Amino acid sequence: MNQALHADRKNRPVWSRSRVIEGYRRMDKLQPPEAAILSILEPEIAGKRILDIGVGGGRTTRYLTGLSRDYIGIDYSPRMIQRCRQIYPNVRFKECDARDLSAFPSASFDFVMFSFNGIDYVDHAGRLKILAEIRRVLADDGVFVFSSHNRDTRVRRSWELSHFVGTHPVITPLRFTKRAILYSLGIMNSLKNTRNEEQNETYALMNDECHEYSLMTYYISVPKQIEQVEEAGFKVTHVYGLDGQQADYRSSTSLDPWIYYLCRASNTHLGA
């Protein structure tokens, strides 16, 4: 099976699992870099047209709708969208794949957010389509914020005993038993998925520990990510680590598992 087909077939069904949906429903806090970025952007995007991609269980919805009522959240998982509509019945949500935003006219949003590494769960070609589509629907003075897994971090393998840190068969038997079950599930999943990993000069497609090694995840270094988004028509202005602090994107050596990027539309992109 080719890489693109495998990534989509493996990843997409995961987002419709009841346990995964419930887990995302319980998340209701911004990550530190998200809070820092929105604090800076608030005067600029208040009341503006907002597109929230990969909305999941609606974690970012109340924060972004607090900035603007001209908001729509999208996700390609119908069950995620269904859950969002249950939680926020008066907010607009739409089932939509970020690789095809043809439902929206060009330059129809002032701010686009694709948080929590949602862009990392498609193949490389799909990722480039997403960036192109976001640039198309973003106004020429618009802002794009997203996060992506950092290739310079260490990916923990399923068989590593560090998964049991914080548990003990006697002191915490229930926690230990649960961890042992998930540990076994992770090993079984990774045995099926690691064979589809890919490494090249630009990125790596890795089977990491997210949802017990069920997913194929895209990893890219900070310099390569900046190069990639600038080729798609954006200018990266700030890079943030998971502590919410800005990093020097020209010489970033961050080992954080993922990085947040604050970008602005550029009129000098390829094809302009």
Is residue 173, in this structure, part of any structural domain at all? Answer: no
Residue 25, pLDDT score: 84
Average pLDDT over residues 4-32: 85
Is residue 255, in this structure, part of any structural domain at all? Answer: yes
Amino acid at 203: Y
Average pLDDT over residues 50-64: 97
State how many domains the chain has.
1
Could you tell me the residue range of the domain that residue 114 belongs to? 3-150+220-265
Structure token digits, residue 123: 């193949």
- pLDDT band at 40, cuts 50/70/90? very high
Average pLDDT over residues 234-251: 87
Is residue 196, in this structure, part of any structural domain at all? Answer: no
- The percentage of the chain sitting over the pLDDT mark of 70, rounded to a whole number, equals 94
- Asked whether residue 1 carries a pLDDT value surpassing 70, the answer given is no
Is residue 109, in this structure, part of any structural domain at all? Answer: yes
- pLDDT band at 270, cuts 50/70/90? very low
Nearest to 260 by CA among 39, 13, 15, 20: 39
Residue 10, pLDDT score: 85
Average pLDDT over residues 134-153: 97
Is residue 231, in this structure, part of any structural domain at all? Answer: yes
∠ CA 198-149-207, nearest 5°, is: 40
Supply the pTM of this predicted model: 0.92
H, E, C per residue of the chain: CCHHHHHHHHHHHHHHCHHHHHHHHHCCCCCHHHHHHHHHHHHHHCCCCEEEECCCCCCCHHHHHCCCCCEEEEECCHHHHHHHHHHCCCCEEEECCCCCCCCCCCCCEEEEEECCCHHHHCCHHHHHHHHHHHHHHEEEEEEEEEEEEECCCCCCCCCCHHHHCCCECCCEHHHHHHHHHHHHHHHHHHHHHHHHCEECCCCEEECCCCCCCCCCEEEECHHHHHHHHHHCCEEEEEEECCCCCEECCCCCCCCCCEEEEEEEECCCCCCC
- pLDDT band at 271, cuts 50/70/90? very low
Averaged pLDDT of the chain:
92
Is residue 14, in this structure, part of any structural domain at all? Answer: yes
Q: How far apart are CA 124 and CA 154, in angstroms?
A: 21
Is residue 165, in this structure, part of any structural domain at all? Answer: no
Q: How far apart are CA 13 and CA 172, in angstroms?
A: 33
Is residue 248, in this structure, part of any structural domain at all? Answer: yes
CATH number at residue 134: 3.40.50.150
